[in-house]
Amino acid sequence: VKEAGRDFTYFIVVLVGIGVTGGLFYVIFKELFSSSSPSKIYGNALEKCRSHPEVIAVFGESIKGYGEATRRGRRQLVSHVEYMKDGLRHMRLRFYIEGSDTSKRGTVHMEVRESPEGGRLEVRYIFVDVDTYPRRTIVIEDNR
């Protein structure tokens, strides 16, 4: 009886470990490979900025994007807010871009929403606020 109880305890510990590991893999997979994750949306928006002629004219050919700075000085966190409106999921993102000449900087604002027909996210708007002189706003996409 004593040995069976110990074996059962080990079995429970192994099951809990498998469950936690599975949960971690699910969260990592969802964040990295889901088309609706903030990092995937950020990557698509950055590519649109890099290919837009007006943005290239202001910032140059080599455009680098980054998120909010952490306490350690790393700039990997893309600021995003998710909310529900009219029964549809919306997400707003804000990140920063910088040209090859580091004196040229800008802030990119974008919003995506879930399409009414399916779960696909569609871009509502993307615009770039040029933070250096002369200040202006470049509209990349506006589907309001």
Q: Does residue 29 surpass a pLDDT of 70?
A: yes
| 31/25 Cα distance (integer angstroms) | 10
CATH architecture of the region 36-142: Roll (3.10)
pTM confidence score: 0.72
End-to-end CA distance of the chain: 69
Report d(CA 26, CA 100) in Å as an integer: 37
* pLDDT averaged over every residue in the chain: 86
- When pLDDT is averaged across residues 3-27 and rounded to a whole number, the result is 94
**Does residue 107 register a pLDDT over 90?**
yes
Q: Where are the beta strands (DSSP E) in the chain?
A: 64-66, 79-85, 88-98, 105-114, 121-130, 136-142
pLDDT exceeds cutoff 80 at 3: yes
Instruction: Write the single-letter amino acid at 64.
Output: K
Residue range 68-77: mean pLDDT, rounded = 67
The Cα 110–Cα 141 span in angstroms is: 9
